[in-house]
Structure formats: C-alpha cells, structure tokens
Structure 1
C-alpha cells in the first residue's frame, strides 16, 4: 500500500511539474524576495538596559542569548545589532555586558560570550563599533565570558572612562580578575595590581560546570569629578563577588587598589551607581547572584567624601556586620 501510494504521489508530482507552462515557471523564478526579521513578541531575558549619559534616547539592551539591540526613538522599535553572528561563533550572541560612550555617542562596546564552561567552545570577545552598532570589529579574549551564566543581571562589567574614553575596564568572571584597554578596546591587558578576583559560586559542587563558576569581578564605576576631559579619571570603584570584600577603590587611575573601609558584608554587590552631584555611591546587594534565586538584600549609600556608610533599604532586614556602617 505504501509503495502504491508513493508511486501515485510521485506520478502526480511529475505530472504537475510537466504541465506547468514554461512562461509561468520563468516568472516565478525571477520573482524578487524581500527578507526581514521575524518579530518575536516574547521570550528570552534582558539582563541589562544601558542608557548613554550624554545623548537623550540613545538606549541599548543586552540579552543573555539573543544579541544586543539599540532603541529607535522615531519608530518605537528595537534594532538588532548582532544578527551577523554566524554558526561558528554562535556564543557571541550571549552579551555579558555593554557600554555606550558618553564622550563619543557613536561608539558602543559589547563583551560577548555565552558560557564560561565547555558548552561554548570559544573564548569571549570584545566587539567595538564606531557607528552605533551598524558595523563591528572584534578582539578575542584569552578567557570565556558568560552572557547566559548565573549572575548575568549584575554589572555592568564593561565600563568606559568618562574623561578619557579610550580607556575601558572589563570586570571578568571565573577568577580572571580585572582587565583594561587604553586604545578604545583594540587590545586588553590584565590589571595585575587588582587584588581580588572574587570567590562566590552559586553551587561549588555542581558537576556540570555551570553553577560552580566563580562569578568574579562584577562591575566598574568611575567618579568623573576626579578627572578632566582627556585625562584619566583617578577614582574608580569595582564590585567583587566576595561576600566579605565587596568593594574596592583606586584613587590613582587604577595603579593601585584598596578595600573600602566600613563596607557592609554578607551580600553580593549587584549594582554600583555613583551620584556625582552629591558624591554618593549606591550599592544594591543580594544574598545570591541571581537571576533565579535571591531572597534578601540591602541598598546602601557610601558618602565618598567622609567614608560614611548608610543603609537606605525601604524594607530593613538585620544590618550585616560592618566596622562603621549605620542605618539611616
């Protein structure tokens, strides 16, 4: 029966092909095609939305496995920026961090790589663009990045010096420490003076190499008041995945680093944002790296002029042990 049916279908198909007029076949073959992206109205995870600090409505979004996007204010749409990534480098669709240049808004940088374990066979890379993501150049890193790893909502790991925008920092995972570029992301070197590569892993005993990764150095924040246009910003803050040592500071442009005194302990510093007008550094903390877990945490502010720490959480859990922190 199957052979008979197959023969009948084959015969029907052959007859249909033979009876198509030549003119119609030629017209169909010459018909032009217009290719566009298929719109997906939901799905995926956006760990970070990054606003340019000097140009209104210049906004980027990074996703864990789906590339990076730029907001188009006139159309109200997001423009995909990494659709050129091919099969051989599929891991570069994982965006671990993104930075938009406050001095030259046309420049944007992506720290790309999907997994820090063997699931992604390639190392991470820094992608750089001078036309807002229309075209890219790439520098390969000697280690992996994890756009789809635990802790991916923290950051931003990639940061641009707001005074000397040719200088960038990358806070790396997996115990790889802090890295710096002084030529607009073309080349990178490890900051050997930085003292703490982090030690927190969600599950140190995970046999899959996923939950046991050291989430490492988490973010970099500059104090723009400590530099002048064209000169290196002197004071830089760095958050680390180490519940006893979450915050470090350099006051000499990254030459040396020290643990900030009086800092809260017991939680991880997910975000660190500086208010340069009032000189306050705000930290948002959690007991885990996320994004699927985490049950408690605090918000703290650090007065950069006096060194005073104040807990400003809307809901107050018990204050972790500190040397000079106070509740507001």
Structure 2
C-alpha cells in the first residue's frame, strides 16, 4: 500500500512544543483588529455511497430533475450533465441534526422549483420532533415547518413511500403520511397540518390519482397504505372518508404507481421491510394491479416470483411504471436473502416478466471498496440488498435507477432487457424468462459521485503512512493515500462490515488497531501500516448480547510507540495487551459500571501511558503501566450523562498534555507522572463538543487547535460552529459557515502534516475535509 512517508516524532518536537510564545503572539491583541472568520473550502473525501439509499423522485414535468433520499444522510439532487449529486441538507446545525433522516420527498408537479422533505430520524420521546422542510429553489434554501410529531427516517418501514404528496392540480394542498400519527393534510403548502379520520397510525404510502381532478379542482381520489393495519385504503372525497380497498391483500403497500393508461400497480410486503420486529424480515409479498376497465375495477395478482416460506420468504417493495409506454413496469424484491434481491421488468402489464439479475453487469472497478465489500458479505447478491425503490426516468425509458443498502445503481440501456424479454419468448408470472444467452446485457454504473453516506464512526490522520484512516459502520473501514480519490486499495482487509474504532501509534505509525463487530475475536492489529492485519487474540470479552446479537466491540487505543493497547468493548470491562493484541487481560481500576461512551486515550508522547474520562464519576483515570491498571489522576469534574458531548485527547510532542472538551467549555490539563493538575479553562470557548489538534501554523510553537462547539471569536458572543486557534486557545477564528454545519459529528481529527486541514465525520455523511480556501486545491 503506497502511503505518505512515515515520520517519527523526535525530542526536538517536544522541545518546540514547550518553547515560549513569541511576544507578538503572547500579548493579548486587540480583539476587534483580529479576523474572526477565515473562509474554508468544505467538501467530501471521496469514498462513494456506503449507506442506504431508500427513495428516488423524478420531477414529472422537467427532464433530468432527480432527487434521492437517505435514511441518515440527508437528501441529494442529481446533476445529469456533471453526473454528480449535490447534498441539500448540510446546513443543518447540531440542534437540527435529526432532520438529516429523510422519510419522504415531494415535488409540486406544476412548479419544478418547489421541493418538500419530511424529516426526522427516530420515534422515541427523547429525540427531536419531525419537521417539513420546504424549498422554492430546488433545495438550495429551506423553510422549516415544525410538525409536532415524530418522524422515523431511520426507523422500520423507511423504504416505503412516497408518504408525502402535493396535489397535482392544487399546489397548496399536501398530504403527509406519518410514522405513528396517521394521515395529515395541509392546505397552505405545509405551514399547518390537521389529522384526517383514518384508522391507521403508520402510513406506508400516499398516492393521488391525477385523473380525479382538473385545473382549479384538487384531486379527489387518494390511496393510502398502512404498515400497522396492513392494507390499501382509498378516499374519493379528498380525504374526508376512507374505505379499505376490496380485493387487495392484507399486506403493507410499499410503493404504488398509476400508468399512463390509468392502471394502478402496487407492491406489497408483510412486515415493514428492513429491520422490522417480529418477524425480523419481510416474509411474503406480491405485485397487484387494478385495471379501471369499463365496469367495476378488478384487482389481479401479477407477482413475478412467489415468495417461499421460512428463509425463502421475502417481500416486494420498489415499483415504477414507464410514463411513455402503457403496461411497462419494473419491480424489486426486498429482503430476499436466500437468492438475493432482484429486479423484474414487464412490458405487458405483468403478464410476463424478465428477471434482470442474470442479465445485468455492474461496474465496480471505479470503487475498489465495493468489490471488497461484495466479496466479504458472502451472500447471494446479484443486484444488491435492500432494494426498497426503483424508478424509470419519465422522459427516457432506457434510464432507470435503484437503491441498495450501500448506494445506488443507474443504467441508460434498460431497453436491452425489453429486447431480451421479446427474444426469450412467453413466460407467465411464475415462470420468469431467465435465459441470459437470449438477452442483451443491462449495464449498471455505481452512480454515487458526491454521495457520501457511510456511517463513519472514528477517524484518524496519522503522523506517517496513510493520510486518513476511518472506521465505518456496515462497510468496514478504509485508508486514503490520495484524498481526492476513493481509496485505491479498497477496504481494510479482511473486511468485516462494521468497524467501530481505529487508532494508530503516534511515534510508530506502522502500528494500528481496529475493532470489528463481525470478527469472532473483536478486532485486528497491523504492524505494517495497514498492508496486512492480524485478528486479535483470545480474550474474555462477551461476544453476544443477552438477545443473541453481536455485542458492539467498542473503542481501542494504541500507545505512543505501539507496544501496548487498551480496548474498551461497549458496556464491558476494558482489556489491555502488551503484545500488540495477541493476548488480552482485564484492566484493573476500570469503572465498575462501564457505559457505552468510555474511550481510552493513549498519551501521544510517552509510551505505555493511557487516560480515561470517567463521565459518570466526573474524573480522569490514568495508567502508567500500559493499561494494566488505572487510578484517579483528576477528580471533581462535572458528571455527564450519555446524551452530553465530551472528549479527552492527548497532544503529540509532550507527555501528559491533554485537552478536555466539555459542555461547560474547553480545558487544558497537564501533570506529573501519576497525577494531573487543575484544569485550565480556555475562555473563548463556551461549549466544546469535540476538539482536535493539527499541524502548527507557520512560526507558531504549538499545534493548531480545532473546536466544534460554541466559541467567541474576536470577542463576539459565542456562536455555534467550527473554529481554529493558532495560539494555544487565546484567540479563535471561525472556519465554518452557515451552509456547512453537517448536523452531528461522530468524530473529528486534524492533519498533523498540513496546517489548516481538519477532517469531520458527521453522522451519515462520510468524511468531510475542510481547508483554508487560499490553500484548497481543485478537485474533480
């Protein structure tokens, strides 16, 4: 693996860190004369996808206008000329971070500039209520309308929809299907909603029939699907009354569409689809159509392949019709674990179907990590998993897009499958045409340029070797040598889905460790900078929860020279190793009731010294024997609960030089061999949620300090954002702006070799790199 050259810290660096400040920097400059804002260039570090794309929306009247939504990473608009996606919700601040979960999108068919997003992450009482975000400029700016109800953008059933609809004839009328509060209606473009009388709490979809309205007359026919009362409901009076649609199964409608000939198609599944409880996955489902005919409408089942039972059970979710060719539609299975999910295409209203998996070719060369991931999962996966939604471009029948649990695929030659269906001959709904040799190939490209949705849990920028290391949920982790490209070597190998933590020895960056939920021993160590990895040796860690699930493997820290490691599995006693992870023993003195957020910290200058912020007890523990035992080194700190941000980090170059980010401010700690002195407050910082140290400014004697929190820059009142100090915290400049706030961070680090460069790991947005605009290099 080609990496940055390895750089060992020397005694000279330690001496530099302790040098006296130049007089000009030590003196308190006039705050009003200091710049308070430094323009920064913020952009994603390329990885490509990595998260669940659970919905797409083409505008019905403007060619090329396409949006997608994600469960935790916001929404995006596609630029077809640049073949690039533009994130639309990066402006959200910490208080609104839960709005990065997008449960549904809607456009106004009569006004292409209007876009609506139904946002919220979870349904528990502790989280923020959901909101409707309204835009009149395609997502460039937003107005927030609070809903007063919870919205489950990352909750069971999130792949169904769309739940949000704008009346095609009256743009002021919106219908909103909620996660647990039924169906809501607005007559003022989403400013206010009222609940309609429908015996459904968890709405799965809302669909309006344009043929039931006309210019100046709102549509009267409304279809509503339900998860909690499985079935399809219909209203013919604009939502005043509803009745169960006769002839449809008692299953949850996932997606529905009306063809150009007026035929209604619906995909059904038992269960919410994706992470449902009891049963865990969709167990059955089907495709049904409603032909208006000349008499009473009739429902007919047209399911391509009937689900089996047990492990062979699955559902149907994605569904769309070709707006240019009546009777042409595409559908997707969901949670078809035995054979792998697939897409099915029909051009005669579901009388005959073509399975696309055997006729598809997926291009993965541009994203080496994806090839690693697909090999590592070892599951039948011809098209990808969790195919919740698929769409055909209403202006181009050859173009289609579908989402998976790790990104999205797009094709411009879907007509190849149509030709294949004609060649393959007749096949009934349960006898799918599958002869690959009689088919043209449908070519899919991983169209994820600038979609970065990995749940990046921890990041590090080493002093040598890779420019950036990341531990990621679901897709393992990776190392970047070139920050302008997706990792050339793909994922850490072996790749084992969720990696929770990664750390590197400050003075010997060839030594690395990472934790992994999917490896039996809980993690890996490397002594060659990540070229190869060796599984941790045995330990008494409990690998399964009481419910039988994999126990989260928690956080790991590597000592300054790499001779020791301390590992804190979540909610379990910590372990230490003196042979780079080959053998593990319990740490003495660790908190008796370990919570989920206990993070061991290695001293970055002194070998074998570790620290721990004991949040519940308001103290800092220290080990001077490689993690074998910990003892209190500082007490009297405020106790914190799990919902409060706090972080302890160690500065390179000088032993026992610590920085502590707390809701009450930023503090510096220093001490002797076995104790730490009283915290020294950094006055400009009112609240510190995370802190990082990076390369010192030219001529400055100490590391640059980066803070995410509320800081007073230049003497002004504290404001939320990202800040940097080049003079040990005396003064800060704001480096963030109103368009780049990214909701909630999970990790932050700074480049030790390049001044001004900081990395952010927001929840569900991959990795963000920030650099001064004056230094930022152009990237494709």
TM-score scaled to structure 2, two decimals? Answer: 0.35
Q: Partner of 1:13 in structure 2?
A: 17
How far apart, in 2, do the equivalents of 1:181 and 1:127 lie?
14
Q: After superposition, where does 1:219-298 map in structure 2 within 5 Å?
A: 219-242=205-228, 245-265=230-250, 267-275=251-259, 277-292=260-275, 293-298=281-286
1:239 and 1:272 in contact (8 A); partners too:
no
Q: Partner of 2:298 in structure 1?
A: 308
Aligned residue among 145, 157, 160 for 2:163: 157
In the TM superposition, what whole-angstrom CA distance separates every residue of 1:144-172 from its partner, at most 9, and x where no partner exists?
00100011001111111111111110011
How far apart, in 2, do the equivalents of 1:116 and 1:235 lie?
30
More displaced 10-residue stretch of structure 1: 37-46 or 97-106: 37-46
The alpha-carbon deviation at position 12 of structure 1 amounts to: 2.7
The alpha-carbon deviation at position 269 of structure 1 amounts to: 1.1
Q: Partner of 1:123 in structure 2?
A: 129
The alpha-carbon deviation at position 80 of structure 1 amounts to: 0.6
- SS for the counterpart of 1:11 is helix
The alpha-carbon deviation at position 314 of structure 1 amounts to: 1.0
1:111 and 1:127 in contact (8 A); partners too:
yes
Q: Partner of 2:67 in structure 1?
A: 60
Q: After superposition, where does 1:87-236 map in structure 2 within 5 Å?
A: 87-118=94-125, 120=127, 122-174=128-180, 176-191=181-196, 193-194=197-198, 196-198=199-201, 216-236=202-222
How far apart, in 2, do the equivalents of 1:72 and 1:304 lie?
37
Q: Partner of 1:212 in structure 2?
A: none
Q: Which has the larger radius of gyration?
A: 2
How far apart, in 2, do the equivalents of 1:65 and 1:137 lie?
20
How far apart, in 2, do the equivalents of 1:71 and 1:16 lie?
52
The alpha-carbon deviation at position 299 of structure 1 amounts to: 0.4
1:280 and 1:303 in contact (8 A); partners too:
yes
1:302 and 1:310 in contact (8 A); partners too:
yes
- Whether 2:76 is the aligned partner of 1:78: answer no
- The aligned length equals 284
1:68 and 1:82 in contact (8 A); partners too:
yes
How far apart, in 1, do the equivalents of 2:57 and 2:17 lie?
55
1:286 and 1:296 in contact (8 A); partners too:
yes
Question: Residues 231 and 8 (structure 1 numbering): CA distance in 2 closer, same or farther, change over 3 Å?
Answer: same
In the TM superposition, what whole-angstrom CA distance separates every residue of 1:31-84 from its partner, at most 9, and x where no partner exists?
x75412223413221110111111111111111111111011221111111001
In the TM superposition, what whole-angstrom CA distance separates every residue of 1:16-37 from its partner, at most 9, and x where no partner exists?
96599xxxxxxxx99x754122
How far apart, in 1, do the equivalents of 2:182 and 2:114 lie?
25
Q: Partner of 1:42 in structure 2?
A: 49
Alignment RMSD, CA only? Answer: 2.7
How far apart, in 2, do the equivalents of 1:110 and 1:296 lie?
30
Q: Partner of 1:205 in structure 2?
A: none
The alpha-carbon deviation at position 262 of structure 1 amounts to: 1.9
How far apart, in 1, do the equivalents of 2:42 and 2:15 lie?
37
Q: Which has more strand, going by share of residues? A: 2
Q: Which runs of 5+ in 1 are unaligned?
A: 21-28, 199-215, 319-326
Q: Which runs of 5+ in 2 are unaligned?
A: 1-8, 25-34, 276-280, 309-427, 430-780
How far apart, in 2, do the equivalents of 1:290 and 1:126 lie?
24
1:261 and 1:307 in contact (8 A); partners too:
no
The one of the two structures with greater contact order (alpha-carbon pairs below 8 A, sep at least 6) is: 2
- SS for the counterpart of 1:159 is strand
How far apart, in 2, do the equivalents of 1:260 and 1:119 lie?
37
- SS for the counterpart of 2:96 is helix
- SS for the counterpart of 2:162 is coil
How far apart, in 2, do the equivalents of 1:235 and 1:8 lie?
77
The alpha-carbon deviation at position 135 of structure 1 amounts to: 0.6
- SS for the counterpart of 1:48 is strand
How far apart, in 1, do the equivalents of 2:102 and 2:49 lie?
18
2:227 and 2:271 in contact (8 A); partners too:
no
Question: Residues 140 and 33 (structure 1 numbering): CA distance in 2 closer, same or farther, change over 3 Å?
Answer: closer
2:209 and 2:258 in contact (8 A); partners too:
yes
